[in-house]
Amino acid sequence: MQTSLTRTDGKENAVYSRGSFAFLCGAAIVGVLLGAMCFCLNSAQADRLMLFRGSSLQLRAEMSYGRIMAGSLMGSTVFLLAIALSGLCAAGQPFELALLILRGMGLGYTLTETYSAVGKAAAPYAACLLIPGAFIAMLALIAAAREAICLSNIYLRITLADRQVQGLADTVKLYGTKLLVIEAMLALAACADTISNYLFIGKLT
């Protein structure tokens, strides 16, 4: 359930929650496609845009498992913090959506780059290497973006309202608790990324 000032258990609220999550999933997929297109452009400008793409296969093979886990967790946590801070702003909705798309672009660029490097025969191994951790992390960030957008909407309604609203402190506490749970999901994604690296990197280098 999303962060909100009032709790409703009716059908309308459930449909809204599913719809908003589906919309954000679509935004992330658009980001993945844009990232793949940026790689296909094969330009220096496109490469500089992908600041948050994953490590190359050769670098993954040389890194320790601890560094892989820390790098994966750090990269996702940066986005989580940015989304969380945007949620505290009444006009943060565009930034939250943009951050989600940007993260998707990094993933799309990495997937396309890896596929280009290993070829069609090794593509299943590349998918098993990259997708499990990335999928969990992306779902976690989508959930964070949904919570952040909802809180931004609450702040926006309060800003535009003529009356004083009670219970905002409890709402922000609930928001923080949910973000801690999402950070735990990102830690799980980092573990999955590390395990995938252990199992499949040798088949690709």
Residue 21 forms part of a structural domain: yes
Token digits for 71?
């790098």
The count of domains in the chain is 1
Residue 3 forms part of a structural domain: no
- Please report the pLDDT score of residue 62 as a whole number: 77
Give per-10-residue mean pLDDT for the chain (205 aa).
Answer: 47 52 93 89 58 64 85 93 94 94 91 85 88 95 94 87 72 93 97 91 77
CB atoms within 10 A of CB 11: 8
- Give 42's DSSP letter: T
- Of 149, 141, 109, 114, give the one whose Cα is nearest residue 128: 114
Residue 183 one-letter amino acid: E
CB 194 within 8 A of CB 68: yes
CB atoms within 10 A of CB 74: 11
Query: For 144, phi and psi rounded to 5 degrees?
Result: -65, -40
From residue 75, alpha-carbon distances to 14, 163, 183 in Å are: 32, 41, 12
Predicted TM-score of the model (pTM): 0.85
Residue 6 forms part of a structural domain: no
Q: Which domain holds residue 66?
A: 11-203
- Please report the pLDDT score of residue 48 as a whole number: 54
